[in-house]
Chains A and B, each alone.
Chain A
Amino acid sequence: MTDRPTRQPFILRNPSILAVLAVLAVFTVAVTLLSQAYGSGVIPTSTVKVLGKTLCLALAAVAMDLVWGYLGILSLGQMAFFALGGYLIGQWLMYARTEAIVAASLAGNPIPPTPAELQEGVANQIFGVVGSSDLPPVWSFAHSLPLQLLLVVAVPGLLAMVFGWLAFRSRVNGVYLSILTQAMTLALALWLFQNDSGFRGNNGLSGLQNIPGLDGVDQARLSVWFLWASALALGLAYVLAAWLVSGKFGSVVRAIRDDETRVRFLGYPVEGFKLVVFTLAAMITAVAGALYYPQAGIINPAELMPIASIYLAVWVAIGGRGRLYGAIIGAVVVSLLSSWFTGGRAPSIHLPGYTVNWVDWWQVALGVSFVLVTLFAPKGIAGIVDRLGGIMPPRRPGRDPGPDQGALQEQEAKA
């Protein structure tokens, strides 16, 4: 191999992109054709919703993989961005729905309502349940869908940028950074738990599945629409992420993961690279959240407790870090398995003298399998895919720098 190969479009260099897009398309169409609203009705609406939500989780996992698998930051606070996205879209959903109700109710009055009265009525409907009747300042833009959509990406992006800038600038890394991201999501969760923060405390925002202005559309159809939206978002994000990590930018990012100090000595602005990836991942995660919660119907601060983010890391680890499709596989497989096992539908195992009931034992099994994956299959399910596909890592003595062998080693292998 003396001359460089001619540069192909990155999609062709990454056969996984086409495969993922194809699988996604087939899956979405198949579900639609089997759904109650547009097809045979084999798949009930509740399952369509579960599948749609799973796609959103996969999207969050792709972002997590960017941050962890490629950049090497084990962020234990990703779900903070996910939930923020949900909260921000939820604000508009609640406000607009309530506004319609209040306007209809006030229309019965002999005198038409003033804008202030309308707003007071809305605030009362939304916050009456938590004992307040003022609209907090954080709801200033809730009346406008475009503004709130802008906030869905802007607020988590800004939070990630500020947090990342502070942390990367101080060279906080490794486990310190993990703990710090965990502290961030915990602080945010505790803040949201408070009634005074203006997000209805522990009750959170609810009734999000009713989309204002779409009263005539039933949930069966809405669920399919959201499935399509989620699939589209996942497909786009996958292409974006794959493009990002395939070029020179991706090489630098992986180099930072493998040895940050050396990359810095080579003159790259390490902090800048980290900040871009971290912020972008936060935005992608927020979009995933904004698509997830209208399907889930309710969001409350428990959604962003540290445990949720750790689960996200678990999915990515089981799926296989440093492989974008690995993240998707992990999120889909583990979250669906989780809901199957905890749903009380998995058959119990009858041992002599004791019955293993999966509701009680699933967590144990998950924990143990997680240890096993970390110990024996650090590349996760994607590692198995790689092996089947014949992508064998080069044999190289010394310690393993990470979940994939790094750009440098790939070059070595080709030489």
Chain B
Amino acid sequence: MRKLTATLMLTSAISFAPGAMAQEGEPIRIGVLHSLSGTMAISETTLKDTVLMMVERQNAKGGLLGRPLEAVVVDPASDWPLFAEKARELLTVSEVDAIFGCWTSVSRKSVLPVIEELNGLLFYPVQYEGEESSKNVIYTGAAPNQQAIPAVDYMMEELGVESWALLGTDYVYPRTTNNILDAYLKDKGVAAEDIFVNYTPFGHSDWSKIVADVVALGAGGKKVGVVSTINGDANVGFYKELAAAGVSADDIPVMAFSVGEEELAGLDTANLVGHLAAWNYFQTAESDANTAFIEEWKTFIGDDARVTNDPMEATVIGFNAWVAAVEKAGTTDVDPVLDAIVGVEVPNLTGGTATVLPNHHLTKPVLIGEIREDGQFDIVSQTDPVPGDAWTDYLPESAKLEADWPGKDCGMFNTETNTCVQVQSNY
């Protein structure tokens, strides 16, 4: 039934221009490039709805620069080449001023050349592996130093983990994140034999051997911890097997980077209590902004059971930052907006603020949550906002790179040779 309501929502969304009649001027168009069908629809549809909600809210406030906002929704259908095609369509046919979209790294890499060629502006709302900074993209999700590194620090400091299992789905985000973590852990004095790495296919369901391998790590006499970058549905089977093997969070804590409120809805969380997740936002964050946002979201979507999650917060921050930059620049043209957006400070939903940095990343607090029985998270640790680092300091090739758009007009600046490696990003 939920899907049916979503369907109804979507229909109205395609020709979405509330209040367009009431205001003067041509509407400002923004593109929404999230998969509404295919494998990624599960995650991305929520973000599409979030953008529509923000548009509605902005129009209720009187629009932007005295003009109404209009969202152009397209469906790239979880098909990566289609992302590039639809992005081109949005920029050249619909002539949108900003695009909110993409979830997976490969979809972002698909869109990048198009956005850079046509000088568009993309707000990318998902935590990602870093190693990138594009002139035309604002990364509102977490870079590795805003999620992975603090989470591992937490496990090391607070849980005393000494032996590590890095489990991930085989795609670029887990690969790169695990590479960074591997380098980081070795930097911290963890021996190579105390790091177990495993990659599984998308949607993997036969976890018995892998869970047994992880349990067997305990033979080393060191506290074992799991860092999970397992994606999507595969988590269900993994956690079920973990629970069946009697592994409690006290024995072997699992820190997940891709498990949020939405993913837990597909699980009986009774056996997972105490396992961890690291994000920049949890629905349980205590702030007035968050309470208001949750309220508004439930009203907008018409379902009291709907949860909020981290990429939604990133979308909200990205939208607000764009609005602030447009107001500051007085125009929606990409170049002035890009100039204006660096340094823009907007409130986040966890009670702090997010600043857009010169490398087009944000400052974000790192939150660690323990899974509760009701599928929500107990926040057990919250840091001050951490500035996002486009190029990690823990891989030798990246450590010497930095991104600084206003200062050096370069997203890949080699600080050793003081040259710009390339102005376009390395897709």
Contact = CB atoms under 8 A, between A and B. Distances in A.
The A contact surface, by secondary structure, is helix
Contacts of A178: none
Interface residues of A, number: 52
Contacts of A201: 170-172, 175
A253 B147 CA distance: 60
B106 A297 contact: no
Contacts of A81: none
A129 B80 contact: no
A46 B113 CA distance: 14
Contacts of A411: none
A206 interface: yes
A360 B8 CA distance: 11
Interface of B: 3-4, 7-8, 10-11, 14, 36-37, 73-75, 77, 79-82, 84-86, 88-89, 92-93, 105-106, 109-110, 112-114, 117, 129, 131-132, 170-172, 175-176, 178-180, 199, 201, 395, 397-398, 414, 417, 419-422, 424, 426-427
A128 B81 contact: no
A251 interface: no
B84 A101 contact: no
A173 interface: no
A343 B90 CA distance: 12
The B contact surface, by secondary structure, is helix
Interface in A333-358: 339, 342-344, 348, 354-355, 357
A113 to B, nearest CB: 11
5 contacts: A125-B421, A201-B172, A206-B109, A344-B73, A355-B11
Contact of A207 (B3, B80, B86, B113): B113
A230 interface: no
A108 B110 contact: no
A200 B7 CA distance: 36
Interface stretch (A68-76, A189-197, A271-279): A189-197
Given A102-B421, A296-B84, 8 more contacts: A44-B93, A46-B89, A105-B419, A108-B419, A193-B171, A203-B172, A207-B113, A297-B84
A296 B170 CA distance: 24
A125 B398 CA distance: 11
A179 to B, nearest CB: 20
Contacts of B398: 128
Interface in A314-331: none
Interface in A358-373: 359-360, 363
Contacts of A344: 14, 36, 73-75
A109 interface: yes
Nearest to A342: B77
A44 B89 contact: yes
